[in-house]
Amino acid sequence: MFVKVAFPIPTEQVFDYAVPAPLAAAVAVGKRVRAPFGGKTQTGCIVAVAATADVENPKEIMEIVEARPLFGPRELAFYRWIAAYYLYPLGKALHEILPGGKNIRSKTEKTARRMPTSAVPTLTPRQRLVLEALPEAGESDGISLAALRRDLGDVRTVVAALAKKGLVEIGERETFRPLPRRREVGPKADRPVLNAGQEAALREIVTSLRRGHFQTFLLHGVTGSGKTEVYLRAMEETRQGGGGAIYLVPEISLTPRLLARLEERFGGDNIAVLHSGVSRAVRYDQWRLLESGRLSIAVGARSALFAPVRNLKLIVVDEEHDASYKQDERLPYHARDMAIVRGRLEGATVLLGSATPALQTYFNATRGKVSLLVMPKRIADRPLPAVEIVDMAMEKALREGEAGAVLSRRLLAAIAATLQRRQQALLLLNRRGYHTFLVCRDCGRPLRCRNCEVSLIHHADDNRWKCHYCDYSVTGQSVCSHCKSPRIVAYGMGTERLEDEIRARFPAARVRRMDSDTMDRQGAHEELLQALGAEEIDILVGTQMIAKGHDFPNVTLVGVVMADSALNLPDFRAAERTFQLLTQVSGRGGRGDHPGQVIIQTFNPGHYALQRAKDHDYEGFYREETRLRRGLSYPPYARLIQLTLSCPRQAEGEKAAAALAALARELLGGSGERGGTTVAGPVEAPLARLRGRYRWQILLKGDGSRAVRGLARELMARFRVPGVRVKVDVDPVYFM
């Protein structure tokens, strides 16, 4: 018997090994093995079992890591599809996808059970005691010796003696490390009565689930329209039909209430939770509980899409527009796009939901590839919040000389009124830290990171200047590193400084801040959101984190301090992101009995992304944005692949980037254009230097995904320069 093993190395090749006789029974696709490779012992994954090998005298595998496979043939087909689509080696992809790590393996426990017998010989009192504590074979697969020890003390020798007499059978079974439970939750019966919009949407989804064929839906429901309830009902239906489901959310730590809602609905022990906040060992066990069919629902961030859910019938992608579904590093996959692929391979229903669908998804809906379900009204016909736009250019002119005038009089007055009504306010500022950046007044240079071509941001908490792209930071230095001038001035504003300003202006208010600086501790989000729900916070200041999926009835004011920060990014999706962010954060307001109010501060008051967000007009935004995209041949009207080339030495990198672009043009036949496929660049990346490496970008663009990917594949096969790394990003989302 032979196996083909994929190792986490940059090659498409898989390697043949012989299986020694004692391991033959345990061999299966989806198990990891330890095997000699390149003079070392390496862990790889079995991707095929065969009667013959393609090489002569293959080496032998040494050990099989798992008692049961981590995935089956259906998942393998899906993983292969992903690896091929993203031009990523299968072995490396498997390494990214599979849970566990070096020292994590499955655990087993010893069990004991009583054998049926009529004649019981004379026993010591202790032997009798233990024997009576054991369950009978046939009724149970035994009690674990660990559990017995808790009640009766160390019973190992007694059990062994009983086994010798033929009265007891000792067995072994797999154990699973439990999820840490925050509280005991049992299934709760009462569910809300669906409204007409929810009913209509659910009916179509249920029809698809019962048919059991692949179909993709877009549930376009405004914020607070009750989309989550529709997802939960669809999952109930799936379970009743004996199917499994995957429920993806952008960042599970930002939605602790969702987990509680799921646990209430399905019971805490019936859900596998897969995200980075759960330890690797527990995730590994959760994964295997799914594979064994003992659990049928997986909830988690993007990587939960890979989970080996049996008989997968439903994949829900909540907030499908969210950019965090795209992994930026290593295997740069998009979980929403791949959810559709997996749905097709498995014959499952895919349910994408959002108040602000990704342009691409809505485009697919207009083309009939995705079935559109619309819920245009909030629960209980609550109104959407009234949105005002404040022109900060006017405001600045009026208040010339007033330092730190980042809050308009309009917003200040609205905050004051909200506090007076004993209601709550959210203030969004998409920049962390204290001052956005610091500039030397004498030489004009900003304080920059040593490794990255970006400004350092001041953090008052620990009085350090920090790089937001690497872990470089310096302590409270106050002179220019360049000309030694002490005259340093602050430009812009971050969440930390905004918090201070709010505290100074509203000293009686209870102010808290939510950004990745305050939220790095486990459970910090949950604690803060709980405090907001308990109305122990009057004003919450934060980055886009505060825009995500929360539902707090007493929040009536939402202020967007600087809508321009996302608009000015060098990214063709800047307007789309801004529209989504503004709509989402606006949607946090007025979800209870009091109407909501939104104030957006900007230097671009006429911009269509802001105007359409003000009018809650998704379709208007979609029309305007698609017209621009079509004109520029950007997605959804073209396919993109971004190549990012990096090198620690500038001159070498620049030369290599030029050579790579030249090779691409040559492959297209010299003119740099063939059959609608084009090459742009190289250009210096917006982050021209990152973690000590200089960076360039080349953009491949084309009508068809196949042609563009073919070009990228050929480039990667031909191009190799020592010291130069090229990252291939199919359907890129981040352009920094």
CB 219 → ligand ADP: shortest distance, Å? Answer: 9
- Residue 438 engages Zn ion in binding (rule: CB under 5 A): no
Cα atoms in the Cβ-side hemisphere of radius 13 Å centred on 428: 30
- Residue 197 engages ligand ADP in binding (rule: CB under 6 A): no
List the single partner that 224 binds among ligand ADP, Zn ion, none, CB under 5 to 8 Å by kind.
ligand ADP
Written in H, E and C, the secondary structure of 120-177 is CCCCCHHHHHHHHHCCEECCECCEEHHHHHHHHCCCHHHHHHHHHCCCEEEEEEEECC
Compute φ and ψ for 487, nearest 5 degrees.
-90, 85
Stretch that binds Zn ion, among 26-34, 293-301, 432-440, 668-676 (CB under 5 A): 432-440
Stretch that binds Zn ion, among 110-118, 147-155, 317-325, 436-444 (CB under 5 A): 436-444
Stretch that binds ligand ADP, among 38-46, 54-62, 217-225, 654-662 (CB under 6 A): 217-225
Compute φ and ψ for 319, nearest 5 degrees.
50, 55
Stretch that binds ligand ADP, among 26-34, 225-233, 242-250, 359-367 (CB under 6 A): 225-233
Q: Residues 28, 379, 460, 683: which binds ligand ADP (CB under 6 A)?
A: 379
What is the DSSP secondary-structure string of 483-517?
Answer: T--S-EEEES--HHHHHHHHHHH-TTS-EEEESTT
- Residue 379 or 736: the one with the smaller Cβ distance to ligand ADP is 379
- Residue 467 engages Zn ion in binding (rule: CB under 5 A): yes
CB 278 → ligand ADP: shortest distance, Å? Answer: 24
- Residue 174 or 264: the one with the smaller Cβ distance to ligand ADP is 264
Burial code (b: 16+ CB inside 10 Å, e: under 16) for 34-63 equals ebebeeeebbbbbbeeeeebeeeebeebee
Q: How far apart are CA 266 and CA 239, in angstroms?
A: 10
- Residue 227 engages ligand ADP in binding (rule: CB under 6 A): yes
Cα–Cα–Cα angle for 175, 180, 185, nearest 5°? 105
Residue given tokens 């979609």 in the structure block: 622
Cα–Cα–Cα angle for 166, 171, 174, nearest 5°? 175
Q: Residues 229, 320, 395, 526: which binds ligand ADP (CB under 6 A)?
A: 229
Q: How far apart are CA 679 and CA 670, in angstroms?
A: 11
- Residue 480 engages Zn ion in binding (rule: CB under 5 A): yes
| Distant-in-sequence, close-in-space partners of 264: CB < 8 Å, separation ≥ 6 | 185, 187, 188
- Residue 67 or 474: the one with the smaller Cβ distance to Zn ion is 474
Stretch that binds ligand ADP, among 74-82, 219-227, 415-423, 509-517 (CB under 6 A): 219-227
Q: Residues 449, 456, 656, 700: which binds Zn ion (CB under 5 A)?
A: 449
Q: Residues 58, 100, 221, 244: which binds ligand ADP (CB under 6 A)?
A: 221
Structure tokens at 707: 């042609």
CB 222 → ligand ADP: shortest distance, Å? Answer: 7
- Say if residues 646 and 690 touch (Cβ distance below 8 Å): yes
Could you list the beta-strand ranges (E) of 331-385: 349-354, 371-375
- Residue 229 or 515: the one with the smaller Cβ distance to ligand ADP is 229
Strands 488-491 and 40-50: unpaired
What character string, x for contact with ligand ADP (CB under 6 A) and - otherwise, covers 255-274?
A: --------------------
List the single partner that 606 binds among ligand ADP, Zn ion, none, CB under 5 to 8 Å by kind.
none
- Residue 392 or 447: the one with the smaller Cβ distance to Zn ion is 447
Local structure of 9: helix, strand or coil:
coil
List the single partner that 195 binds among Zn ion, ligand ADP, none, CB under 5 to 8 Å by kind.
ligand ADP
CB 220 → ligand ADP: shortest distance, Å? Answer: 10
List the single partner that 221 binds among Zn ion, ligand ADP, none, CB under 5 to 8 Å by kind.
ligand ADP
Q: Residues 106, 111, 127, 225: which binds ligand ADP (CB under 6 A)?
A: 225
- Residue 481 engages Zn ion in binding (rule: CB under 5 A): no
- Residue 28 or 379: the one with the smaller Cβ distance to ligand ADP is 379
List the single partner that 198 binds among ligand ADP, Zn ion, none, CB under 5 to 8 Å by kind.
ligand ADP
List the single partner that 452 binds among ligand ADP, Zn ion, none, CB under 5 to 8 Å by kind.
Zn ion
Order the strands of the 464-466 sheet from edge to edge: 457-459, 464-466, 473-475
CB 264 → ligand ADP: shortest distance, Å? Answer: 11
List the single partner that 225 binds among ligand ADP, Zn ion, none, CB under 5 to 8 Å by kind.
ligand ADP
- Residue 467 or 537: the one with the smaller Cβ distance to Zn ion is 467
State the CB neighbour count (10 A cutoff) for residue 164: 9
Q: Residues 99, 100, 226, 542: which binds ligand ADP (CB under 6 A)?
A: 226
Q: Residues 372, 379, 470, 531: which binds Zn ion (CB under 5 A)?
A: 470
State the CB neighbour count (10 A cutoff) for residue 340: 21
CA 230 to mean position of chain CA atoms: 21
State the CB neighbour count (10 A cutoff) for residue 211: 11
- Residue 485 or 516: the one with the smaller Cβ distance to Zn ion is 485
What letter represents residue 426's amino acid?
L
CB 591 → ligand ADP: shortest distance, Å? Answer: 7
Q: How far apart are CA 301 and CA 254, in angstroms?
A: 11
| Distant-in-sequence, close-in-space partners of 736: CB < 8 Å, separation ≥ 6 | 569, 570, 571, 685, 686, 687
CB 224 → ligand ADP: shortest distance, Å? Answer: 5
Order the strands of the 371-375 sheet from edge to edge: 271-274, 297-300, 244-248, 312-318, 349-354, 215-221, 371-375
List the single partner that 227 binds among Zn ion, ligand ADP, none, CB under 5 to 8 Å by kind.
ligand ADP
Q: How far apart are CA 134 and CA 16, in angstroms?
A: 47
List the single partner that 449 binds among Zn ion, ligand ADP, none, CB under 5 to 8 Å by kind.
Zn ion
- Residue 195 engages ligand ADP in binding (rule: CB under 6 A): yes
CB 543 → ligand ADP: shortest distance, Å? Answer: 20
Q: Residues 551, 617, 654, 684: which binds ligand ADP (CB under 6 A)?
A: 551
Local structure of 677: helix, strand or coil:
strand
Q: How far apart are CA 391 and CA 491, in angstroms?
A: 19
Q: How far apart are CA 34 and CA 83, in angstroms?
A: 22
- Residue 221 or 243: the one with the smaller Cβ distance to ligand ADP is 221
Q: How far apart are CA 568 and CA 587, in angstroms?
A: 23
Angle between helices 145-152 and 156-164 (to 10 degrees): 120
Interaction residues for Zn ion, span 26-55 (CB under 5 A): none
| Distant-in-sequence, close-in-space partners of 716: CB < 8 Å, separation ≥ 6 | 87, 726, 728
| # residues near ligand ADP by CB under 6 A | 15
Q: How far apart are CA 258 and CA 300, in angstroms?
A: 11
Q: How far apart are CA 729 and CA 88, in angstroms?
A: 10
Q: Residues 224, 542, 589, 653: which binds ligand ADP (CB under 6 A)?
A: 224
Interaction residues for Zn ion, span 587-626 (CB under 5 A): none
CB 558 → ligand ADP: shortest distance, Å? Answer: 14
CB 300 → ligand ADP: shortest distance, Å? Answer: 18
- Residue 457 engages Zn ion in binding (rule: CB under 5 A): no
Q: Residues 23, 65, 84, 194: which binds ligand ADP (CB under 6 A)?
A: 194
- Say if residues 572 and 701 touch (Cβ distance below 8 Å): no
- Residue 440 engages Zn ion in binding (rule: CB under 5 A): yes
Residues of this chain that bind Zn ion (CB under 5 A): 440, 442-443, 449, 451-452, 467, 469-470, 472, 480, 482-483, 485
Residues of this chain that bind ligand ADP (CB under 6 A): 192-195, 198, 221, 223-229, 379, 551
